[in-house]
Structure 1
C-alpha cells in the first residue's frame, strides 16, 4: 500500500485502509487478545502485549481517515539533529547556553519545516532585531517567524532536494 498512496487522494487512502489495513488490524487484535491470556503479565512479551492492547485506539487511528500519516517519520527527522548533537552540546556554557542552543535549534527546524533557508533567515533576523528597539510589538515579532518572513523573502525558499540533502548531512 505504500507506493501509490503518496499520490492518492485522502479519500482513496481512506478506502484502501478500510479495505486492506483494517481487516489485518482486526485479525491482529483477535490474536493479541488470545495470546495475552497465555502470557505472564510481567514478562517482557507480556508487557509488550499489554502495551499494544492499551495503545490500540492510537494504533488504528490512521484507518479513520486518509489524511493522517501512517508513521511519524517527519517528527523523527526533525528530532534527528538534536539526538546527533547531544554530545556536541555537553559544554554549551551552562543552562543559559543550553536554552539558547535549544532556541536556535528550534528556529532552524522551523525553517526547514517551512522550507525556509535557515542561514539566510537567521542572518536577516539577527540584523533586524537590534533595530526594533527595546519593546517590539507582538505583531512586529510575528513577522519575523519563519513562515511569515518567507512571504517577504521568497527568494530564500528551500526546495525539497536541498532539505533532504541537509537532513543527510
Structure 2
C-alpha cells in the first residue's frame, strides 16, 4: 500500500457480465471501501466523448476518468468496478481482482441483459481469449493480480470473503 494512503484501493475487473458490480457492492458493505462504479461515473459526470450506436454504449474518455478519480484514489479506501483496466495508473491499486465466468454462463447473463448479438459474441470471445486477464497482468504487478472464478453464488460468496479477509489483513495496523 502506498505510504500516504491509510486504506487500500482495489480494482475489480472482468468481461461484462462476470459479476463485478455485485461483488463490489458486497465487499463495500463488509468493509470501509467506497464502491466506485466507473460506468455510472462516466454517465453522471459526462466522462465520455459520445455514443457508440453499434455497441449501445458511451465512448469513454480515459483521461477524463483518471482526472475525475485522481484525488479520491490518492486518499485510498476505494473499490473500483470496471471492465477495462489498462488505463488506470498502476500506483492506484493494492489488489486487482479479475473475475472470470464460464462462457455458457456468461452468454446467458449477457443475453438476459439484451446485448446485441455482435456485442454479446465479442464479449464471450474476449472471455475465451482471457483478454482482461492479460491486460491486468501487463498493467499491474503480478503479485497483486488475482484471477477468480465467478460462475455461481458460492463463487461470489467465496470471492467476497477472500477479499474481506485480505482487507482485514492489510488494514489491521490502521485500526
Q: TM-score range by the shorter chain?
A: under 0.3
Task: Please state which structure has a larger fraction of its residues in strand.
Answer: 2
Using structure 2 for the length normalisation, give the TM-score.
0.20
Q: Which structure has more RCO (C-alpha within 8 Å, separation ≥ 6)?
A: 2
Give the number of the structure whose alpha-carbon radius of gyration is greater. Answer: 1
Using structure 1 for the length normalisation, give the TM-score.
0.20
Task: Please state which structure has a larger fraction of its residues in helix.
Answer: 1
